[in-house]
Amino acid sequence: AIDTDAIIELLQSHQKAPKSSYQGLALELKEAVEKQPEKFSSDIDYYKDVNIIYINSITLGFEESLKKNNILEWDNILPFYKRLIESDNHYKNNEQESPSFIYLTIAKLLSVGMKSNRKSLEQQLTPLVKGILFKLFELSIQQIDSVDKIFDFHSYLLNSTIGVVILSLIDYSLLSAQMASTNQAIRWEDDIRQKFDLCIEKRVIDIYVTLGMYFKNIYYLDQEWTTHTIRSFYNLEKKY
């Protein structure tokens, strides 16, 4: 197996290569992470200065690894992603603007971790997950593109950055409710509900799609809010 220093040296040698030349390397990196997730999750901090394309590949590899019931070292991974999305330096070092695709990939990874591998995501780490999701929400809601026509709402939602972040916030709320084992009528946190209210205020299409497709989950989290919100849609002008 190639050691971490050798991998980083190889990745950095392709930092400014044309897109066509690093796509193959990015795919190989993803496959390597799938096979050795413990190696990459324990050494993740060493990859902080590589091109964001490769960090995206590592994240995709983590996601696929979780689907195979592997366990990641979340106590290393979560602080890494928190620093990544909170700092502009990483993107400046790579001479790129902050690309939204990494936000979507991180949110998907967290969702898979909260749903398929909950035992590895210890309860004391969930506040860090929430902080990352809130930052992803802040970044993604600023980059929403206008949509003229949607033919497949499910595909649209799963490929929309803000849509995936919204779904991740639902997964976080469901996990938190399960950990708390509460029978209260309201099972999510006020500041998360406020994010949903903001999406409705801004007429973000993803929130309407989410409420339709994941009604039962949201109704479980807050019956009164969900009922009131759905009823408020009756007076909306039809757009999609």
H runs (alpha helix) in the chain: 4-13, 19-35, 37-42, 52-67, 74-86, 89-93, 101-116, 126-141, 153-158, 161-180, 190-201, 205-213, 215-221, 223-232
**How many other C-beta atoms lie within 10 A of the C-beta of residue 30?**
20
197 in the Ramachandran plot: left (φ > 0), alpha (ψ -120 to 50) or beta?
alpha
pLDDT tier, 120 (very low <50, low <70, confident <90, very high otherwise): low
Rounded to an integer, the average pLDDT of 114-136 is 83
pLDDT of 79-89, one tens digit each?
Answer: 999 999 998 65
Which pLDDT score, from 0 to 100, does residue 154 have?
85
Rounded to an integer, the average pLDDT of 173-192 is 89
Q: Which residue has the tokens 């849509």?
A: 163
Q: Model-level pTM?
A: 0.90
**Lowest model confidence (mean pLDDT) among 115-124, 156-165, 191-200:** 115-124
Inter-CA distances, 47 with 36, 41, 55, 80, 91, Å: 15, 10, 7, 9, 13
